[in-house]
Amino acid sequence: MPELPEVETIKNELSPYVVGRQFTGVTVYDAKLVRQPPVEEFRRKLEGQRITSLDRRGKYLIFHLSGGEALIIHLRMSGVLLLHPEQPEKYTRVVFQLDNGSQLVFTDRRRLGAIWLVENEQAIVGKLGPEPLAPEFTSETLAERLQKHRAPIKAVLLDQAFIAGIGNMYADEALFAAKIHPLREANTLAPREIQNLHHAIRDVLWSAISSKGASVDTYKRPDGELGTAQFNFRVAHLAGKPCPTCGATIQRLAIRNRGSYFCLNCQS
């Protein structure tokens, strides 16, 4: 699933090409992905609107439009946004035509993505937790929020209402960097551990953004190129491999039905 670094990369790379452009048409091949309004109303309302800015909130892309509405896209497990692909894409679900002749193509192999056109973006993203890269997200903020949770720290980090944008692989990487076992109860972390985790979260996310995200499954950048953050992973998706720190075998454990990767020796 595209997580914060992947969605941030898409935002950064799309913005120069779509901000200021106008939608001239929309072709919807799979109505399931358009959550609101109904497809015909979605098409009618979107055509003619100009993109005034492109933002990210958690794992959501938000296209602010000249009419005051917001086009919101969540890629979910396998969604990809491609700008003017050279070859037809097998899993194309929606095609947005722009006034300069380019196309923004939304492909989704598993058909789990979602698109909204709404007047109030908070109706979709309002329940998200704080942005982990925002200046106001301090270690003190993290400590205060953790005190309210007894669940495993890995599960808490994946809760989008607790913190926005972190998914499975970056939670694993951050916990490894902070030397915290993924099953530790969130409210048992010591102040120093919370400081380490706060630093690790931000460091891991910024590093992944600098590598244009991680292409471990279906993720592609808007130009069709892959991200390279996966080559820097130390534990995520590396079960059975030696720990880069101590050489012990990296373990895999299911936590709340999500695969978690960690080193039992380093994260005791």
Residues designated as active site: 2-3, 59, 258
Is the peptide bond between 37 and the residue preceding it cis, with omega within 30 degrees of 0?
Answer: yes
| CA dist., res. 44 & res. 41, Å (int) | 5
Which DSSP string do the residues of 161-223 spell out, in sequence order? TTSSS--HHHHHHHHHHHT--TTSBGGG--HHHHHHHHHHHHHHHHHHHHTT-B-SSS---TT
State how far Cα 256 lies from the chain centre: 19
Distance CA 34, CA 27 (A): 11
Chain centroid to CA 216: 13
Cα distance between residue 229 and residue 208, in whole Å: 5
> Which tokens hold the place of 236?
């995520």
Token pair for 207: 């590093």
Q: Catalogue the long-range contacts made by 226-229 (C-beta closer than 8 Å, 24 or more residues apart).
A: 227/5, 227/6, 227/9, 229/5
Contact between 79 and 113 (Cβ < 8 Å): yes
180 Cβ contact list (under 8 Å, min separation 6): 153, 189, 193, 196, 197, 267
